[in-house]
Structure 1
């Protein structure tokens, strides 16, 4: 069994794992493996906020930018309705080469948030973490999602999962650093554009579900017994998460290439700290309920379950973040964090 932390990122621990060295998880899970030459990854979220008809021309515009020189190695697109009733489509793009991203980003940013669009808001949320500040986890090794698509491949079965604290233990920096948050979000006004400077050790999670391989009885079990509980928890974080350290949450339906809804979803949320995310996961009633429904589902189906689960978690340094919004309402993304700080 492998460690989730690749050998080249292992170091002498000053902070210990939550499980003993001989711990054996009850089921297999896998992590993405990057080439050792990849020191950073980039995850960039480009949002369109609107009411009414889908702004197809704007979506075509961002797709064209992403297809240009030095564009990302992978991108996908998802839709949700936010707490203020606005439709939002988010295109998230991934790079494994920061120099390529830097060459691409300046003109793309100007094209995206540098101009006004009547009745439409746009935003950019970017993290560019070192690989030591990032972890992934997959229930199956043969279908990568998100940032794992740009990795070299998947690991074998890893040890650090299926226990509270596994998420932290998979982050290489956790070997020596508590990754505590430092500072508070601040708002910078640049004409019509609003930028948020967050703080050290801001946490991002993207946590996804893929039920496209499920068949009738399993699909019914997931859609009737698990998904409603998951949605309830996601709605809590969206509407009331600020009180527990969740700045913003989006529960999104992944879109197919033709814009139709796929059988995949993911939650994406910004947290004050990894510790705040851990507290919600371990003890908050909404996540306890999600966890209970998922465990009942998996114990009922056992190894025959075809639902695929994954997540990616980043704890980003202050200089690895960029947030910019134009014509978006004040509870959009990290704007909600600034509103809370200034209230």
Structure 2
């Protein structure tokens, strides 16, 4: 049994874990392992927003950003997902990952100007970037063999880890939790730069990407997931999207991952911005919308046992103020972190 915190990031604790040292989790889970030389990672969300009449221009813009990803200095891994937001706009989000900050910075200068500098009429674009130290970040996977998200740029995966399957495990897997509370500081502010809107968030903003992959499931398990679990998950994701501000969730997207050819895959993920890790923890532990998700998932897993083929994962980051960048062009007021400053923007 390994610790989720890698050996080179372990430090004497001034804040205790939620479980004793001899805790044994009831089932295996794994985390991404970076090379010790990797100090920071970059997770950059390039979003595009449009209605039906702008579909052709949207296709061109998506092809352009894909070409930039493939150019020199581009990400080591990227994926793309789609959803329709609360205002009825199609959104396509291309998420790119780097483990070399200098390479990203050199690449990003021109990519930013191309993406949020100007777009055809009817197209909105946004860039949401975190560049955390690895001490501010954690991952968790239910199985090995198919890394997703930021784990795709890691050096590999761990063996079975101890810190999971209990409330508080998410915090305990973040190396900074050994000594720091990761409390938020300040409030989001809007900065106008011509047509661009930038959001200056605050210290210890929290991001979660939490995914599901049912591509390996067979007929009966797929039906069980799609009929009994996914609708409950979608209901919870819609709650966070529509009413999350009241509990500290600035914005939530529940997206279907797109395959290389652009068709919907059998993968999805929720991605949300939170005022704090504590706010995310409170929702996960006690809010009725997540209690229902958890209950449906536990019933599913207890029914299938070890034969379950559904793959689950997540990544959670608590970012310092200087590790964040949010910029929006021609997007509606509830897009991403704009929702956190909607009254100011108006």
SS at match of 1:91: strand
- State whether residues 204 and 315 of structure 1, in contact with CA within 8 Å, keep that contact through their aligned partners in structure 2: yes
* Aligned partners of 1:184 and 1:341 also within 8 Å: no
Distance 2:84 2:205 in 1: 24
Q: 2:106 — aligned with what?
A: 103
Structure-2 residue corresponding to 1:46: 46
Structure 2: how far apart are the matches of 1:44 and 1:309?
22
Give CA deviations for 1:174-208 in whole Å, capped at 9, x if unaligned: 00000000011000000000000000000000000
Structure 1 residue 340: Cα displacement: 4.9
For 2:122 and 2:245, locate their aligned partners in 1 and report how far apart those are by CA, in whole Å: 27
Secondary structure of the residue that 2:336 maps to in structure 1? coil
C-alpha deviation, 1:65, in angstroms: 1.1
- Deviation for aligned residue 1:339: 1.4
Query: Once the 2 structures are TM-superposed, how far is the Cα of residue 341 of structure 1 from its aligned partner?
Result: 6.2
Once the two structures are superposed, the pairs formed by residues 218-257 of structure 1 within 5 Å of their partners are: 218-257=221-260
Alignment partner for residue 175 of structure 2, among 168, 172, 181? 172
Q: Distance in 1 between the 2:285 and 2:83 partners?
A: 26
What whole-Å deviation, never above 9, does each CA across 1:5-42 have from its counterpart, x for those lacking one? 00000000000000000000000000000000000000
d(CA) in 2 for partners of 1:141, 1:121: 37
Q: Does the aligned pair in 1 maintain the 2:128–2:327 contact within 8 Å?
A: yes
Structure 1 counterpart of 2:202, from 199, 202, 216: 199
> In the alignment, is the contact (CA less than 8 A) between 2:138 and 2:317 conserved in 1?
yes
In the TM superposition, 1:3-82 aligns within 5 A as 3-52=3-52, 53=55, 55-82=58-85
User: For residues 166 and 99 of structure 1, what CA distance do their matches in structure 2 show?
Assistant: 32
Q: Verify: 1:143 aligned to 2:146, yes or no.
A: yes
Aligned: 1:298 with 2:301: yes
Aligned residue pairs total 343
Q: CA deviation at 1:141?
A: 1.4
Is the contact between residue 138 and residue 309 of structure 1 (CA under 8 Å) also seen in structure 2?
yes
Q: CA deviation at 1:68?
A: 1.1
Aligned to 1:268, which of 266, 271, 283? 271
* 2:190–2:345 contact (8 Å) kept in structure 1: no
Pairwise mapping of residues 112-131 of structure 1 onto structure 2 (< 5 A)? 112-131=115-134
Q: Could you tell me which residue of structure 2 aligns to residue 188 of structure 1? A: 191
- How far does the alpha carbon of each residue in 1:217-237 deviate from its partner, in whole angstroms, 9 at most, with x for none? 000000000000000000000
Say yes or no: does 1:155 pair with 2:152: no
- Secondary structure of 1:225's aligned partner: helix
User: Using the alignment, how far apart are the partners of 2:140 and 2:343 within structure 1?
Assistant: 32
- Kindly tell me: are residues 183 and 49 of structure 1, through their superposed partners in 2, closer, same or farther at Cα, counting changes over 3 Å? same
The Cα of 1:112 is off from its aligned counterpart by 0.5
Q: Which runs of 5+ in 2 are unaligned?
A: none
Alpha-carbon displacement from aligned partner over 1:49-72 (angstroms, at most 9, x marks no partner): 000036210110110111111000
Which of 211, 214, 220 pairs up with 1:211? 214
Whole-Å Cα distance in 1 between the matches of residues 192 and 69 of structure 2?
26
Counterparts of 1:269 and 1:166, CA distance in 2: 19
Deviation at 1:116, TM superposition (A): 3.1
- 1:117 deviates by 1.8
Spell out structure 1 runs of 4+ moving beyond 3 A: 340-343
Structure 1: gaps (5+ residues) = none
Structure-2-length-normalised TM-score:
0.98
Q: What SS is found at the alignment partner of 1:14?
A: coil
Displacement, 1:342?
A: 6.9
